Amino acid sequence: MHRLISDFFVPAFDLSTLNDSAVVSWQATGRVALTTDSYVVSPYFFPGGDIGLLSVCGTVNDLAMAGAKPLYMTVGFILEEGLPFEDLNRVLASMKSVSEEIGVRIVAGDTKVVEKGKGDGIYINTAGVGIVHDEIELSPKRIKPGDKVIISGSIGNHGIAVMADRSGITFDPPLLSDVCPLNSLVDLMLDTTRDIRAMRDPTRGGVATTLKEFANDSDCCMILHEETIRVRSAVQGACDLLGLDPLYVANEGVLLAIVAPAAAEDLVTEMRKTSAGAEAFIAGEVTKSPPRTVLYRTTTGGNRVIDMLSGEQLPRIC
- Per CB under 8 A, 51 contacts its own copies: no
Q: Is position 186 an interface residue for its own copies (rule: CB under 8 A)?
A: no
Residue 241 found at the interface with its own copies (CB under 8 A) = no
Binding to its own copies by residue 24, rule CB under 8 A?
yes
DSSP annotation of 140: G
Judged by CB under 8 A, the residue of 5, 10, 93, 113 near its own copies is 113
* Residue (23 or 278) nearer to its own copies, CB: 23
Reduced to 3 states, what is the DSSP secondary structure of residue 91? helix
Decide: is 200 part of the binding site for its own copies (CB under 8 A): yes
Closest by alpha carbon to 48, among 191, 232, 313, 298?
Answer: 232
Among the listed ranges 26-34, 229-237, 262-270, 279-287, the one in contact with its own copies (CB under 8 A) is 26-34
Identify the CA nearest to 152 among candidates 52, 13, 252.
Answer: 252
Give the residue, chosen from 8, 72, 190, 245, that forms a contact with its own copies under the rule CB under 8 A: 72
Q: Is 191 exposed, middle or buried (0-12, 13-18, 19+ CB in 10 A)?
A: exposed
Q: Which position among 53, 56, 68, 250 is part of the footprint of its own copies (CB under 8 A)? A: 68
**Nearer Cβ to its own copies (19/300):** 19
Residue 22 is a binding residue for its own copies (CB under 8 A): yes
Q: Which is nearer to its own copies, 33 or 268 (CB)?
A: 33
Long-range contacts of 162-171 (CB under 8 A, 24+ apart): 162/41, 162/42, 162/43, 162/46, 162/47, 162/317, 163/238, 163/242, 163/244, 163/314, 163/317, 164/47, 164/238, 164/242, 165/43, 165/46, 165/47, 166/42, 166/43, 167/242, 169/238, 169/241, 171/234, 171/238
Which residues make up the interface to its own copies (CB under 8 A)?
1-2, 18-40, 62-63, 65-66, 68, 72, 74-78, 107-115, 117-120, 123, 125, 127-130, 132, 200-201, 204-205, 213, 308, 313, 315-316, 318
